[in-house]
Amino acid sequence: MSSISHHDRQTTSLANKIQEVTGVALQNCYQCGKCAAGCPVAGDMEMPSCQVLRLLQYESPDYDRRVLESESIWLCLSCDTCHSRCPQTINTPKVMYFLREEAVRQGLAHPKSKDAQAFHKAFLGSVARHGRLHEIGMLMNYKVRTGHLFQDMTLGSKLYQKGKLELLPHGVEDKAAVKKLFKRTTGNKE
């Protein structure tokens, strides 16, 4: 980590945007580390939650970029353990969600996030079409998007035998209502 002076601060820092969009004030974090101590995936992150927050507090373009490019922000499980234990009630999962979206917007998302992004697209595509999630349709779409064609193949056939996979979608009756809702809120991106 290179040293940084307070003169390098930007006015459009991530910390500012985060406060504006999510209402979370990162300056309230005093680095007790309780969030990382309880985080189930802290050990798998190159920088755990408290370090992400610390880097953002500097409001430096370099550090902001380092956060956006990290895999850490994609590993957050939204289990909310950090938030429920934070003495300053900082909503870290909400910050992580924002950071992911910002990383995608800026084209800086970590390569390993591709699967997660494909999953969301496949999921929403299914809901936009049927109004409900059609699990097998969504999974097939996800596999095509990611190229993981043979992952969990044996599991899939076992689930089918157990009657846990519906081959045909059972959507809502009023498909037009759901389509309209998607259109009004996303401009029909999905």
- Using CB under 8 A, list all residues that contact other proteins: 40-41, 44, 74-81, 83-84, 91, 97, 100-101, 115-116, 119-120, 123-124, 127, 131-133, 135-136, 139, 142, 152, 155, 158-159, 162-166, 170, 172-174, 177-178, 180-182, 184-186, 189-190
Residue 165 CA to its chain's centroid (Å)? 26
* Cβ distance to other proteins smaller for residue 63 or 137: 137
* Cβ distance to other proteins smaller for residue 4 or 159: 159
Least distance to other proteins from the beta carbon of 120, Å? 4
Least distance to other proteins from the beta carbon of 60, Å? 27
Least distance to other proteins from the beta carbon of 77, Å? 3
List C-alpha distances in Å: 188 to 19, 79, 101.
28, 30, 18
> Quick one: 71 exposed, middle or buried, by C-beta within 10 A (0-12, 13-18, 19+)?
middle
* Cβ distance to other proteins smaller for residue 14 or 109: 109
Packing angle, helices 114-130 and 135-146, rounded to 10: 140
Q: How far apart are CA 97 and CA 22, in angstroms?
A: 10
Least distance to other proteins from the beta carbon of 96, Å? 10
CA angle 102, 105, 109 (to 5 degrees): 75
Tokens (6 digits) for 32: 């007790």
* Cβ distance to other proteins smaller for residue 4 or 124: 124
